[in-house]
A = this chain, B = another copy of it.
Amino acid sequence: MIGSAKPLVAPLQPPSPTGRCLAPSSCAPDSPPALTRAVESPGQSQSQSQSDGAPPPRPVDAAALSHVLRASPQLSRWSRSRALRSGRRPGSDRAKLSSASASVLPVNKSPRPEDAAVAVEDGEDDDVCVAERDAAAGKAIYIVSDGTGWTAEHAVNAALGQFEHCFVDRGCAVNTHLISMVNSMDRLLEVIKQAAKEGALVLYTLADPSMAESAKKACDFWGVPFTDVLQPTVEAIASHIGVAPSGIPRSSPSRQGQLTEDYFRRIDAIDFTIKQDDGAQPQNLNRADIVLAGVSRTGKTPLSIYLAQKGYKVANVPIVMGVNLPKTLFEISQDKIFGLTINPVVHQAIRKTRAKALGFGDGYQSNYAEMEHVRQELVHANQIFAQNPMWPVIGVTGKAIEETAAVIVRIYHDRKQKCSMPRISKRY
């Protein structure tokens, strides 16, 4: 569900029956019970907001909010550290920054005049930084999480892939801002207020129902469009298994230190994979879950690492002309060996790109990317693949590491499970 995107200025002066509203910071209508309780006692409001009969969003007590923002120990710590870094005297932050903001904020260039309006109108702007200045160049998206934010970032990146056609020709520009560990009410409100200033969309993952509820209310209050990224998935699982979600963020102390067997398996897989990189320690090939064989630049190493992150012990064996493959490669179970091949023309292009990226000189580059050598090496590799029909040969041309990994993992599990429908299964 998407929050209503009201104009940005209006919500900062919410309709007040008493007409007491003079300026954002002094605008103080009655606080909604839910939010007040949430500020006082998350636990209490959590149980309260879990009942679906939640009251409709009502204006947040801006005075209370601004007080909360002042009181934020995190914020003041950041302000101090920023002041120290920038050589300013702590305490004189606000004045200098608000003046700075006036000069820095691109009032004329801004694609959203109301942003500038808010910035000028709001004397509390103390978030002048590269990110905010960049924000003027494109639409801002705040990714807000009570944890690391990696899940939300991953989901948002995938969603943004649906708008590549617009980014490529720069028809539109987007700036994402990942703000993680938002696990206090004051921090949450501070972030959403900043999102309002930048005219940002807020995409959040907040496990605590009282935090999620407050995010909705604050977004409505400040006219910030928002979406709870994981809510539909969590609700679907809850109704499927008939269990209510815990509402406890991963970062919560009560969930700290829960490093599972699976976690250590992944760590071991990474350690193993790094030690086995580029044909090292062929005597350990039998301990690998997956063995990759291919010529240089077929992405063996990053592919191995990516698979290791998923818990697979991977060894990769380079196929080089004039160098015999390790004897052990043919002694181990052959159905865990995968061949990697690539289109020579694209291969050469990638090699050139890589050589350039690595800053090699022309001499090296021309030698490194020498077409005939590439062709011969690939012919040599294909001969080996032909002699080992058990090895699935995967073309990596134009494929991202993630895509090649998906193919390999699917075949790996299919061979183990012998399903008609290839699937990667896990137990919880």
Using CB atoms and an 8 Å cutoff, list the residues of chain A in contact with chain B. 1-2, 5, 75, 78-79, 82, 85-86, 97, 126-127, 129-132, 134, 137-139, 141, 147-151, 153-167, 171-181, 190-191, 194, 201, 203, 205, 207, 225-243, 245-248, 250-251, 255-259, 263-264, 266-268, 270-271, 274, 277, 299, 301-302, 305-306, 308-309, 346, 353-354, 357-358, 397-403, 405-407, 410, 414-428
**Cβ A271 vs Cβ B301 within 8 A:** yes
Which of these, B159, B240, B243, B420, contacts A230 with CB under 8 Å? B159
Q: Please name all residues of chain B whose beta carbon is closer than 8 Å to the beta carbon of A346 when the two chains form the complex.
A: 257
Q: Please name all residues of chain B whose beta carbon is closer than 8 Å to the beta carbon of A406 when the two chains form the complex.
A: 147-150, 180-181
Which of these, B130, B255, B353, B399, contacts A425 with CB under 8 Å? B130
**Cβ B167 vs Cβ A237 within 8 A:** no
**Cβ B176 vs Cβ A421 within 8 A:** no
Chain B: minimal CB distance from A178 (Å)? 4
Which of these, B234, B239, B305, contacts A162 with CB under 8 Å? B234
Chain B: minimal CB distance from A305 (Å)? 6
Chain B: minimal CB distance from A405 (Å)? 7
**In the complex, A268→B226 CA distance in Å?**
35
Given contacts A78-B421, A162-B234, A163-B238, 20 further A-B contacts (CB under 8 A): A82-B419, A131-B419, A131-B425, A138-B428, A139-B240, A154-B155, A155-B155, A162-B207, A162-B237, A163-B243, A167-B428, A172-B242, A178-B425, A181-B410, A201-B237, A203-B236, A229-B232, A231-B232, A264-B353, A305-B305
Chain B: minimal CB distance from A322 (Å)? 24
For the complex formed by this chain, how many copies does it contain in all? 2
Task: List the B residue with the shortest CB-CB distance to A401.
Answer: B267
Q: Please name all residues of chain B whose beta carbon is closer than 8 Å to the beta carbon of A151 when the two chains form the complex.
A: 154-155, 157-158
**Cβ B267 vs Cβ A239 within 8 A:** no
Which of these, B78, B127, B175, B232, contacts A227 with CB under 8 Å? B232
Task: List the B residue with the shortest CB-CB distance to A227.
Answer: B236
**In the complex, A274→B232 CA distance in Å?**
39
Q: Please name all residues of chain B whose beta carbon is closer than 8 Å to the beta carbon of A194 when the two chains form the complex.
A: 421
The CB with the most chain B CB atoms within 10 A, among A236, A239, A358, is that of A236
**Cβ A234 vs Cβ B159 within 8 A:** yes
Task: List the B residue with the shortest CB-CB distance to A278.
Answer: B274
**In the complex, A176→B242 CA distance in Å?**
16
30 of the cross-chain contacts (CB-CB < 8 Å) are A2-B235, A2-B236, A131-B419, A134-B425, A134-B427, A138-B428, A149-B406, A151-B158, A158-B205, A160-B428, A162-B237, A162-B238, A163-B241, A166-B243, A174-B427, A175-B426, A175-B428, A178-B425, A180-B410, A194-B421, A203-B237, A229-B232, A257-B398, A264-B354, A264-B357, A267-B302, A274-B274, A274-B277, A274-B305, A305-B308
Would A162 and B245 be within 8 Å (CB), given that A130-B416, A154-B154, A424-B177 are in contact? Answer: yes
**Cβ A148 vs Cβ B405 within 8 A:** yes
Q: Please name all residues of chain B whose beta carbon is closer than 8 Å to the beta carbon of A417 when the two chains form the complex.
A: 129-131
Task: List the B residue with the shortest CB-CB distance to A239.
Answer: B2
